[in-house]
């Protein structure tokens, strides 16, 4: 499967302008001559691509229906799968979510961010999710996670056996960019899976973003050329589930895990006190 990450410069809380920018990027990518580049099967957009990572939760959640309609239309128009993130109405507070739409514009996956970014007060404005989701795209098993989720290895481990490609969509700021690149590579190596990180560029909420979008293979090696630093652009690469199987068969690290032992150790430490 060929996947494309659209590293966009998000206009702050301006869905119409962001739709226009994504439309233009998708058109340039998908309507060019066939020989110019391989045609992607899956387009991946950043976290809250229509508004930016705004703490005006109710305001951005009001655009959810319009954003979902745009994503479905983009998928139908170009006959591709599309993954994009947005704020959506939820209770007790809105949720930071994403969806995958198939080439007919049907939603085939919905996921809510498990870990609100408490350092920015996201937990005070958005309700966390409580489940993980995986779907198959052109024979590739895809599991999305959102930004701050990247810092937590547990959801990756839980879904690794049923995942070939993790898609991490983000608004990850420039000041922690080294962590972004390091953690993307770590998640690929430790789970022996492809990891696609799609970040934004530009200033959002006063924070500069360098992008650094990347596709890593199951050995943690770069599998695509990154867009220019700090510039809007597209990353295109190949995801081969056969490589996931091959790496896992050659290096049986996942089979050597001992989840029951880890649970017992955690319980013992919890009961032992300080």
137 burial type by CB count under 10 A (0-12 exposed, 13-18 middle, 19+ buried):
buried
- Say how far apart CA 63 and CA 193 lie, in whole Å: 33
Q: Which of 47, 88, 98, 122 is catalytic?
A: 47
Give the residue among 45, 2, 52, 1 at the shortest CA–CA distance from 236: 2
2 burial type by CB count under 10 A (0-12 exposed, 13-18 middle, 19+ buried):
middle
- Cα 114 to Cα 86, 122, 132, 251: the distances in Å are 14, 12, 8, 30
For tokens 């560029």, name the residue: 201
47 catalytic? Reply is yes
> For strand 135-137 and strand 194-198, is the pairing parallel, antiparallel, or unpaired?
unpaired
Q: Decide: helix, strand or coil at residue 173.
A: coil
Per DSSP, 161 falls in state G
Q: Which of 98, 113, 122, 167 is catalytic?
A: 113
Please spell the DSSP secondary structure of 5-34, one letter per residue. EEE-BPPTT-HHHHHHHHHHHHHHHHSS-G
- Say how far apart CA 137 and CA 1 lie, in whole Å: 8
Rg (CA), the chain: 18
- Say how far apart CA 106 and CA 180 lie, in whole Å: 31
For tokens 């052109």, name the residue: 138
113 catalytic? Reply is yes
Q: Which of 13, 88, 147, 167 is catalytic?
A: 147
Report, as residue numbers or ranges, the catalytic residues: 47, 113, 147
């Amino acid at each position: 499967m060929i996947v494309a990450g659209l590293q966009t410069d998000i206009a702050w809380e301006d869905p119409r302008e962001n739709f226009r920018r994504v439309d233009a990027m998708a058109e340039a990518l998908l309507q060019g001559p066939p020989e110019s580049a391989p045609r992607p099967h899956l387009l991946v957009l950043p976290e809250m691509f229509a508004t930016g990572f705004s703490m005006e939760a109710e305001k951005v959640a009001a655009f959810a229906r319009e954003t979902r309609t745009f994503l479905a239309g983009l998928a139908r128009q170009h006959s591709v799968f599309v993954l994009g993130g947005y704020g959506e109405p939820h209770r007790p507070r809105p949720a930071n979510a994403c969806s995958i739409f198939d080439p007919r514009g049907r939603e085939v996956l919905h996921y809510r961010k498990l870990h609100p970014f408490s350092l920015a007060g996201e937990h005070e404005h958005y309700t966390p999710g409580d489940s993980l989701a995986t779907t198959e795209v052109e024979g590739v098993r895809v599991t999305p996670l959102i930004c701050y989720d990247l810092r937590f290895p547990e959801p990756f481990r839980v879904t690794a056996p049923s995942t070939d490609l993790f898609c991490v969509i983000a608004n990850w700021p420039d000041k922690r960019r080294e962590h972004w690149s390091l953690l993307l590579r770590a998640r690929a190596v430790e789970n022996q899976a492809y990891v696609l990180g799609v970040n934004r560029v530009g200033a959002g909420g006063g924070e500069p973003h360098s992008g650094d979008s990347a596709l890593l293979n199951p050995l943690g090696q770069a599998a695509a050329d990154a867009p220019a630093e700090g510039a809007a652009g597209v990353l295109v690469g190949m995801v081969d589930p056969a490589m996931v199987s091959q790496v896992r068969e050659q290096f049986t690290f996942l089979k050597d895990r001992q989840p029951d032992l880890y649970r017992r150790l955690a319980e013992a430490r919890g009961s032992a006190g300080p």
